[in-house]
Every structure is written in structure tokens, then in C-alpha cells.
Amino acid sequence: MVDDDIFGEDFLNLEANHQKEGFDEGYRDGLVAGKEEAKPTGIKTGFEVGEELGFYKGCVDVWNSAIRVDPTRFSHRVQKTVRQMGELIEKYPIMEPEDESVGDVMEALRLKFRAVCASLGVKLEYKGYPKAASEATETSF
């Protein structure tokens, strides 16, 4: 029996098959290239987060030392906020950067830091690592 249809199923789907093969190949190549390109950005972001956390940890350590020396020096509210900052620093998911709570924890830490500074009447500011001229317009903490 002779097949009357010279344009079989494979021929009619040729464009769609090639398109899918091209997409699959490009996707695989993109995953590899994306991981390579993302590594320096991840290292830089990790460094910046660690540096900011370290700044807040240093402030908490100094304030806790002052509280130990003279517990009446700071109000109970300030002492509580300093304690909460320490808890937030400990709670920060350093080893899980994709954890969705990282932004919330960091923002809460920044707010508490500003509250303590305002209560103490000090003008401490986290300015971060010196930025390149192209990044200088970003907000500092």
C-alpha cells in the first residue's frame, strides 16, 4: 500500500520540533552561563550583607557592654530593642540566602537600629563599603 500523503506527520511538525529542540538547547546553555555570570554578583551581595550584619553586631556588642557596666544608663525600652537586634542578627538565615525572610529580617534590624540611635540621641549611620562612582546614587544605611 502506497501512502498518498507525502507530507507526513513528521514533515508537518518539522518547524515545531526544531523550535523545541532549539529552545531546550538554549535553556541548557543558559543555565550554565547564568550560574557562571551570577557567581560574582552573589559573592558581592553576600559580602555586602555580611558587612552590614557585622556593623549591627558590633553596635549591639558595644551597647550590651555599656548596659553591663551601667544597667541604668539606657532605658528599659532601649535595652529591649538592643536585645531584639541581637536576636534578629542570630535569626538571620546566613546559610540560606534564598530564604524569603532575609529582606524582612534585615529591614526589621535597620528599623531597630534607627530606633536605638534616635533614643540615644546619636547619629550613627551604616554607610557600607565605599561604592564606585556609578553606584554612589544608591541610598546608604
Single pTM value for the model: 0.67
Task: Please write down the long-range contacts of 46-51, taking CB distance under 8 Å and 24 or more positions apart.
Answer: 46/97, 47/129, 48/128, 48/129, 49/102, 49/106, 50/94, 51/128, 51/129
* Each residue's pLDDT tens digit, 55-77: 999 999 999 999 999 999 899 99
> How do the domains of the chain map onto residue ranges?
9-120
Amino acid identity for residue 83 in this structure: R
* Each residue's pLDDT tens digit, 89-140: 999 988 887 888 888 999 999 999 999 999 999 888 888 755 544 444 454 4
